[in-house]
Amino acid sequence: MTFAHSRDACGDDWPLVGRERELAAMDAVAAEVLSGGPRVVQLEGSAGIGKSALLSTWWARNEQFRVLRARCHPLEREFAFGAVRQLFKPLLAAVSDTDRARLLEAATLRALDDAAVPDPPPEAANATAATLRELDALVSRLSRRQPLLLAVDALQWIDQPSLRWLVHFVGRADSLPVLIAVTTRSAEGRRLDPLFAELVRPANCHTLVVEPLDVDGVGQLVRTLWGAEEPDETFCAACHAATGGHPLFVRALLHQAQRCGVKPTTEFRDRIPTVTLSTLGGEISHRLCQASDKVVALARALAFLGDRKPPELLAAYCGTGRAVVQSAAEELRSLGLLRADGNPRFTHPVVRDTVLATLSPEELGVGHARAAQVSCLSGRPDEEVAAHLLAAGPVHGSWVLPALRRAATEALRRGAPETAVTYLRSALHQPLDESERARVLLELGTAASHYDAALAISCVTGALEGLTDEAARSDALGVLAYSLLLSRGSRTDLSSVDRKIAALSERPTTGPGAADRELALRMTALRSWMEFERPSVTGPAPAPSPGADDDLADRTAGERQLLAIRAFHALRAALPAPYVAALVERASVNLPAFSHDLFPLHYFVAQTLLYLDELDTADRLNRHLTREISGRGMELLVSSLTVYRAVLALRRGNIAEALGAAQEAADHASPTGRLPYALTVDTIRIDALLAQGRVEAAENVAVTHAVAGQTEVAWERPRFLMSLAALRIAQGELRAGLSLLRECGHHCEALGTVSPAMSPWRSRAVAVHLALGDPRAARALAEQELDLARRCRIPRALGVALRAAGAVTDGLRGLDMLAEAVTVLRTTPARLELARACHDFGVALLRRDDKRGARGALRDGLDLAVACGATALAARLEERLHLAGGRVARSGSQGIRGLTAGEERVCTLAAQGYSNKQIAELLVVSLRTVETHLTGAYRKLGITGRPHLAAAMATTDRCRGGSEPADS
């Protein structure tokens, strides 16, 4: 049966009327974008109110923007970067290979890559950082060619990774001509999502509530339908009263009225039927009831499978041939329920909703189950299959588990571990034997370790109960150990974990094969990590001796892990630095990307490089790891790398940079609320704040950690105790500080750490003993540290020990030690330690009345302290320099030489006109770090803000070649 009508009630071929206010508002937002930067506009309203039509009409008449569009769908909420793919893939597919390469600039953009062979599943715990940055860069390049409109229909159904990118982009790109236009249904539950709320908050977004039409708007639709006939005003008012002005209801009403022979005149006013949402659904249901079974089957297939699916898939769902589907599609079009263009799709989402509303919950489950099976057999993407499986409830079949696991692997590849966890949780509802369930739990734990260490520990612990394969148990223990590393306060029985590792490492081998040897090496590595990370569980390991590594090559992962561990143990035992460096170099040649089966290789390489003072190499490693894990959702590991960056900055003496990175790490809380290495973060903050002379602020950080009652000995504790001791000493509590330093020494002894490069507690205690009038104890500690420093042959450790020894040694010998400390430290990146040595050397020269020599040492120390941002030390140096008769530079006179490397990079870009957000993006740092650098630079340059920066940089650049003023 067909209907003779000029326009379809449910279609979108009606003109847009009565929307002048909204179109003008969108024009205003577009003008802001073209003149200032990115904006978000939200069109909010009920279903069928005309949001999409309004958006389409606006962009059709505005040719300044290149339009990229995505339409979200309820079944696609679990598609990783599904909306992003809709936005960008058609564009990239339409351009030439050369242009595509220019747009992507060699970026992988896994979020858009369907055809690539999947990498091995990412194996660790970032909110998809690299993917987000690559998408930002792609949009930046596109918007430089032409202003960009990103149109997202039905935002309430968007997938989480795509939403995260939109929020990320809006928060960072403050000067790109990009308009993000979204449509949302009123009163949808998604607005409880914090990311959703962040995107559409008033500071970012201009919201337009699309209201029903007024009487004049209804009159325009009446004129459209009846052509030349001028409608009666009372007729139009009656239509408005019957429908409330809702465009979808108005069109349905007018369509039904025309079919019944009604004319838009006064005499027909009382014959206008009342149309509500239920009667509109009834109209659609009525049309379907008059159709054949094959038409109803196709309507249901479209409702379950979604729009624009190929006829072959629809035919498979309906159990018919392609010709039958095409015939049914023509009949649906004649009923006004399908659009006329392309592959079959409903004229409006309300048609799909109506079709599904006629089905019982059992029928809905059966329909989704059939859609999943047909999609799987037809080779559709696994995420489509998984979406139907999630909607169907329990579905059994040999094909279900592989499909869910493949979908999880693909989600991980795209950098959406939360989605992978959703799929694998569903897989656990399949009928699984014990070994299969254990393997799924291991995959679930691996995905969870990207962002939730506690969940990962729970899943992997359960997996270990059922895994019998030794290789799989080895993988599980690697994931478990890694998750324990990033899970503070875990209640997991660590001794039981150690027993599992020991049992696997001590099991009888089946032969001399490489696999058995590699497994044994792997377990030894994990036990070594456990010994260092949680020594209260295993007890300290014996110190290695030179030559013990001769049996190890550096060809396999296990051999590299053992080499890195031996290097670290040799470092702790104060063995010579060249020997340690040779070991760590062998372990880290062509270091591969991070994965669980390599843990703890990167961990021990990073720690060893740090205390060898190979800070440039350590920084390159940190950047390499950050690039490798970016886009893989490893939020916990990203937090840890940020902490490592803060430690590196502090070791270099970049106080502001260290504080900024530490705060960035503290702000990057995990979903469970626990920050990896929280104690280390606060240790950095205390040291940096004390260097700035901010004792009260340091106390506010320290007070959050209770020192008493700490029963577990861990490597973070000694470092924290040294920092807490420095705080107590700065507060004048010398004996309390000395007690804390002694406790630090006891912890180091329990850990088997004797190297002063890792824990120089003795040299710090020397000054306290001298202040308390106990030079004998001070001398003994200084001699011990100097002896250990000469053994380990690390210049920083030797310089620090020489400074302490010089302080307790009288006469020329003590002066020579201080001079040697300055000479040794000049060869290191330890600028703050060098500034302290210059201070002590200058003071010693001043005592001997060598004012000229004292002025040189003190001025060097002052320049270094100012460049580091060490305000407290700089103040002491200024005072001593004044006593030595030197001219003291006022704040701001040190110019660009006083800037740290990070501050100079930021200032250079700021002087060139880059915004703070652009600088953060270019340098791959947080916005807070950029702000911290600028604040420090303004103080050092003696200016009040950005307007004076370019002139200050130019002036100081001209003075770079100038000489220092002579002493008076």
- CA distances in angstroms from 149 to 16, 439, 788, listed in the order given: 20, 45, 64
pLDDT, average across residues 449-473: 84
* Separation between Cα atoms, residue 944 and residue 958, nearest integer Å: 21
pLDDT at 562 over 60: yes
pLDDT band at 499 (very low <50, low <70, confident <90, very high): low
pLDDT band at 430 (very low <50, low <70, confident <90, very high): confident
Question: Which of 34-43, 98-107, 790-799 shows the lowest mean pLDDT across its residues?
Answer: 98-107
Q: What is the pTM of this model?
A: 0.61
66-71: strand order across its sheet: 66-71, 148-153, 178-185, 39-45, 205-209
Closest CA relative to residue 415, chosen from 618, 638, 211, 202: 638
Question: Which of 374-383, 610-619, 810-819, 923-932 shows the lowest mean pLDDT across its residues?
Answer: 923-932
pLDDT at 650 over 80: yes
pLDDT, average across residues 160-169: 88
Between these two residues, 867 and 778, which has the higher pLDDT value?
Answer: 778
What are the structure tokens assigned to 317, written together?
């769902």
Residue 39's contacts (CB-CB under 8 Å, 6 or more residues apart) are 29, 32, 33, 179, 180, 204, 205, 206
pLDDT at 513 over 60: no
DSSP secondary structure, 47-95, as one string: TTSSHHHHHHHHHHT-TTSEEEEEE--GGGTTSTTHHHHHHHHHHHHHS
Q: What is the pLDDT of residue 60?
A: 85
Helix axes 215-226, 233-243, angle to 10 degrees: 110
* Separation between Cα atoms, residue 909 and residue 903, nearest integer Å: 10
Q: What is the pLDDT of residue 277?
A: 57
What are the structure tokens assigned to 521, written together?
């090496």
pLDDT, average across residues 602-611: 91
Q: What is the pLDDT of residue 780?
A: 95
Ramachandran area for residue 809 (φ above 0: left; ψ -120 to 50: alpha; else beta): beta
State the CB neighbour count (10 A cutoff) for residue 229: 12
Closest CA relative to residue 828, chosen from 852, 836, 964: 836
Cβ atoms of 802 and 834 within 8 Å: the answer is no
pLDDT at 116 over 60: no
User: 715-730, pLDDT tens digit by residue?
Assistant: 678 899 999 999 999 9
Residues of the chain above pLDDT 70, percent:
82
pLDDT band at 547 (very low <50, low <70, confident <90, very high): very low
Q: What is the pLDDT of residue 423?
A: 93
Residues of the chain above pLDDT 90, percent:
31
User: 634-644, pLDDT tens digit by residue?
Assistant: 777 777 888 89
pLDDT at 125 over 50: no
Between these two residues, 538 and 430, which has the higher pLDDT value?
Answer: 430
Q: What is the pLDDT of residue 636?
A: 73
Say which amino acid occupies 492: T
Tell me the range of 326-335, 410-419, 425-434, 590-599 where mean pLDDT is highest: 425-434
Q: What is the DSSP letter of 549?
A: T
pLDDT band at 633 (very low <50, low <70, confident <90, very high): low
pLDDT at 737 over 70: yes
* Separation between Cα atoms, residue 480 and residue 460, nearest integer Å: 6
pLDDT band at 491 (very low <50, low <70, confident <90, very high): very low
Tell me the range of 43-57, 118-132, 246-260, 826-840 where mean pLDDT is highest: 826-840
pLDDT, average across residues 197-209: 86
Between these two residues, 333 and 711, which has the higher pLDDT value?
Answer: 333
pLDDT band at 145 (very low <50, low <70, confident <90, very high): confident
What are the structure tokens assigned to 208, written together?
């337009």
